[in-house]
Amino acid sequence: MGKYQYRVNCELNINPKDFVGVRDVLEISLPCMNCQRNDRTIIFEGINTEGICTPREKCDGFPGKLTSREIIKKSDTVEVKYLIDFEYEPFIDKKYNLKSSLPEFGWARLYFTLKCTNCQKERTISTQENIGRPCNERCGCGNIIYKDEESPFDYEVNEFN
């Protein structure tokens, strides 16, 4: 069985001074060896938690953990870096009868909180790989608080030995 590490970087188009934080939950698509299905949505509820493979009634858990989350404030963006350590061995997808593969690029969603520069209210929003872009998020006061112009995500998978 192979051990792999999936690295996901998300560079949010946010001024660091308006950034409040990132929610613990990360949703991401990965092949799950446990239930032998490709492209499952795996939910991590925090650092060092096992992934929850969805739908839950079809799988009793993803064989991997979210092992690290790092937040880097740059001059005009905020970068969030995740590491997921997981076990994987190619399999034949049970439903589609296709060989599984590790994602070269992927799908992810994260939730973050920022502060409106106009009314100072905090708001939690999410961004994900596959939404129609550009997509602006507005505060209740009408101010645009987040401009989602291109996917902020970047993915990389490496095998460990």
Question: Could you tell me the two tokens for 68?
Answer: 């690290």
Rounded to whole angstroms, the Cα distance separating 136 from 51 reads 30
Question: Could you tell me the two tokens for 152?
Answer: 């902020």
User: SS3 for 17?
Assistant: helix
Nearer to Zn ion, 80 or 145 (CB): 145
Shortest distance, CB of residue 150 to Zn ion, whole angstroms?
A: 24
Shortest distance, CB of residue 40 to Zn ion, whole angstroms?
A: 5
User: Distances in Å between the alpha carbon of 138 and those of 21, 91, 105, 115, 145?
Assistant: 18, 44, 29, 11, 5
Nearer to Zn ion, 59 or 110 (CB): 59
Shortest distance, CB of residue 30 to Zn ion, whole angstroms?
A: 9
Give me the residues that bind Zn ion (CB under 5 A), please. 32, 34-35, 53, 59, 116, 118-119, 139, 141, 143
Nearer to Zn ion, 34 or 113 (CB): 34
